[in-house]
Amino acid sequence: MKKTLVLLSFTLLTGCALFKKPDPVAVTMSFPDAPSQKDLERCPELKRLNAGAKLSDVANTVNDNYSTYYECANKADDWIDWYNAQKKIFESVK
Amino acid sequence: MILLNFIPDLYLQFAIFAVIGIGLILYVISILLAFFPAFAIYKSSIRAISVIIILAGVYFFGGYGVEMEWREKAKIMQGKVDVAEAKSKDLNSLLAKKSKEKSKRIHVKRLVVKQYITKEITKYDNTCVIPDVFVKAHNDSAEAPK
């Protein structure tokens, strides 16, 4: 009877050891989306002046270029905020 | 082992208990055969087979415990991941809203300055001559580095 119990316990433990799964546990996680579709577009090139440009053309071109910069900076800020927040979320899953 | 992941918990449990059950039934039969002299010659072989089946069942029972523990762990982890994905989506919609508002402010400011240029700067278009060197300097600085 003792031998049978020992044999059964040994077999049980062998089963436990052989079925042991490797860590970490496999789960499905999709890559987080971009903050918005607009943020996936590259920044446009800056506008240039034509030869013989008037003062108002210069002012308009500079105005347009500054706006382009701020639009682009807005995208960069989106990605910075996105990264910091996503990192926090990712770390909370561990 | 990978195939185990596709078997539902209940079926797996049932299969293991069935194997142990069959082994025990055969063991009992091997004992009862002692009372039937005609079949007594099969007693030892049936007992040996029953012991092997019981051992196989017990072995899988040990593995079943680990399998269930792993499945529970995976379930908890998947729950956390689902919550994180939902948080991520909420965050994206919040960021998109914030970005859209800022983009709108940039656009409005651009238009306001444009109107100011049309109203005030155009007056000086004929009095102020822009030299070509200025245009070249501006265009060179506007060009992206290659």
d(CA A8, CA B57): 10
CA angle at B72 for the pair B13 and B75, rounded to the nearest 5°:
125
CB contact under 8 A, B66 and A74: no
- Mean model confidence pLDDT for chain B: 89
CB contact under 8 A, B99 and A65: no
d(CA B27, CA B117): 101
The pLDDT value given to residue B121? 94
Question: What are the residue ranges spanned by the domains of chain B?
Answer: 2-133
CB contact under 8 A, A8 and B139: no
Query: Which among B70, B91, B132 has the least Cβ separation from residue A85?
Result: B91
Report pLDDT digits (tens) over A1-30.
677 677 767 666 666 666 665 555 677 888
Query: Which among B74, B98, B103 has the least Cβ separation from residue A26?
Result: B74
* Chain B contact probe: residue of A28, A29, A38, A43 with most B CBs at under 10 A: A29
* Closest chain B residue to the Cα of A65, Cα to Cα: B142
Q: Calculate the CA dihedral of residues B30, A5, B13, B27 and round it to 10 degrees.
A: 0
What 3-state DSSP class applies to B87?
A: helix
Put simply, the chain B residues between 6 and 25 with a CB less than 8 A from any chain A CB are none
Q: Which residues of B touch A20 (CB under 8 A)?
A: 66
Q: Which residues of A touch B104 (CB under 8 A)?
A: none
Cβ atoms of residues B58 and A15 within 8 Å? yes
ipTM of the complex: 0.72
The pLDDT value given to residue B19? 92
Report pLDDT digits (tens) over B2-37.
556 667 778 888 888 999 999 999 999 998 988 888
Cβ atoms of residues B67 and A19 within 8 Å? yes
Kindly state the average pLDDT of the residues B50-74: 87
At residue B63 the predicted structure's pLDDT band, cuts being 50, 70 and 90, is confident
The pLDDT value given to residue A22? 56
Cβ atoms of residues A71 and B85 within 8 Å? no
The pLDDT value given to residue B133? 95
Put simply, the chain A residues between 36 and 55 with a CB less than 8 A from any chain B CB are 36, 38-39, 45-55
- Backbone phi, then psi, for A47, in 5-degree steps? -75, 150
